[in-house]
Amino acid sequence: MNGLDLLGPEQRGLFIGGSWREAEAGKRLDVVDPADGSVLTDVADGSVADAVEALDAAVAAQASWATTPPRERGEILRRAFELVTERADAFAHLMSLEMGKTVAEARGEVTYGAEFFRWYAEEAVRIHGRWMQAPGGGSRLLTIKKPVGPCLFITPWNFPLAMGTRKIGPAIAAGCTMVVKPASQTPLTMLALAAVLEEAGLPGGVLNVVTTSHTGEFSETLQADDRLRKVSFTGSTGVGKVLVRQSADQLQRLSMELGGNAPFLVFEDADVDAAVDGAMIAKMRNMGEACTAANRFLVHSSVAQEFADKLGKRMGGLTVGRGQDDGVDVGPLIDERAVETVSQLVTDAVHDGARVVCGGQAPDGPGYFYAPTVLLDVPVDAEINVQEIFGPVAPISTFEDEADAIRMANDTEYGLASYVYTRDLSRTIRLAEALEFGMVGVNTGLISNPAAPFGGVKSSGFGREGGFEGIEEYLETTYVALPAG
């Protein structure tokens, strides 16, 4: 099984109004294997007219979907959870092929991604308002929750399944319809997911998927349409800002899951071996191509050399190769540009005085690989500490005390994930309160959990996905004033 068999030929098309079809202009879009640059297959390249048709279908389905009983909406999600779980191996292979991550990692994403369907299957039946007496007596206050309406979802290539289910799950549960545009590098997983939802009994028009290379025109046209009520985007901060601007005329509701620059703080009282274990996860999950990836290792000067040596040994021992091959720990990056960006950041850091503990270069092609790299003595203001690396590189800088560490950690435009290693409980509380990030991992390198509210502050965006909070992004509140009777 190589995963491509999850999709029949018609399912490499557009999914609109419950039917699979070709793009209006008959255009196709190549999907490339990042391990060698070859073309895996192709999918429909939807036009703006196709996008509008997808919105038409979402709008047509909205009223009946909003009144479909919550239990029914939940059961569809539950069936989809079961189907994805049954086909976990095929989904993992498909994702590995189009995105590059190892099959083992992709299996982890299938478990994580499918769980959003199970979690929101359970939440669908717990949408409720409240009834209260007005504080001054007399009237009664009633609130009703209603679905926001037709949504547009735009997802990135790094987690092709989970970034979709985090939006689709709560939207289905809340009674919203949607148009989804997956990243053009990784459209296959989303198409396979649409096929699963169709099989699970989702009515036509609730979910519409348009694969397209015309990204700018696509979002501009749909956001100018007053029938679209909500945009949820996961991707880079630059594109997020464009979508926020485009939402102004129609005042669409927004959820923005944008870039990160996570600090990974290791204090002098930390268990250094545990910190290295956590660092391997926080840095190397998805080859470093994660918004939650530890981007800056800020380590107390008294333990920095020990931490660097131990991390270097682990990183240097990883096997780089094709994600589907046995024994491979680290797959390719998404494309050539990603390798160039990472190479440049490392070259500049070394020029600024960083020492290479391991790695430090891209192996010869084919494929878009970069060697797992650890850098020590990286100047705090080096570009590699300022921007998202999105690759398997761990730059280590040092601090002298807690105030210094907090100041350095917060000195970024981003505010998504942060990680802290310390054995001091009082310090943990101080840090959790002082760090300007949406998420703080304490003595762990893995924070993502479908039951937890995932999201950021500052240039990392706003809104939360997962947890009890995630469904609120898809609900409006109507307040009803009633006399006392």
Measured from each CB, the residue nearest to ligand NAD is 235
Quick check: 463 and 255 in contact, CB under 8 A? yes
* Window contacting ligand NAD (CB under 6 A); options: 1-9, 126-134, 155-163, 424-432: 155-163
236 binds ligand NAD (CB under 6 A): yes
Q: Does 46 bind ligand NAD (CB under 6 A)?
A: no
Task: Say which of 291, 358, 402, 465 is annotated catalytic.
Answer: 291
Beta strand 262-266 pairing with 294-300: parallel
Q: Please report, for residues 85, 183, 221, 229, 470, the alpha-carbon distance to residue 323 in angstroms, rounded to integers and kept in the order given.
A: 20, 20, 37, 39, 32
First to last CA, the chain: 66
Shorter beta-carbon distance to ligand NAD: residue 211 or 422: 211
Exposed/middle/buried for residue 131 (C-beta within 10 Å: 0-12, 13-18, 19+): exposed
260 binds ligand NAD (CB under 6 A): yes
Which residues are CB-contacts of 433 (< 8 A; sequence separation ≥ 6)? none
Active site includes 291?
yes
Cα–Cα distance for residue pair 340/344, rounded to 1 Å: 6
Distances from the Cα of 357 to the Cαs of 307, 308, 392, in angstroms? 11, 7, 13
Taking CB under 6 A as the criterion, the residue among 150, 169, 235, 278 binding ligand NAD is: 235
At closest approach, how far in Å is the CB of 460 from ligand NAD?
6
- Interaction between residue 208 and ligand NAD (CB under 6 A): no
CB closer to ligand NAD, 211 vs 398: 211
Closest CA to 245 of 260, 261, 231: 231
Which of residues 40, 125, 142, 242 is near ligand NAD by CB under 6 A? 242
Ranges within 418-457 binding ligand NAD (CB under 6 A) = 456
Between strands 393-399 and 294-300, the pairing is: parallel
Stretch of residues binding ligand NAD (CB under 6 A), selected from 139-147, 153-161, 197-205, 322-330: 153-161
Span near ligand NAD by CB under 6 A; candidates 84-92, 154-162, 274-282, 364-372: 154-162
176 flagged as catalytic: no
Looking only at the bridges linking them, the beta strands covering 140-147 and 131-133 are: antiparallel
Residue 414 CB, nearest distance to ligand NAD (Å)? 9
Residues belonging to the active site: 257, 291
- Which residues contact ligand NAD by CB under 6 A? 154-159, 163, 181, 183-184, 215-216, 218-219, 234-236, 239, 242, 257-260, 291, 388, 416, 456, 460
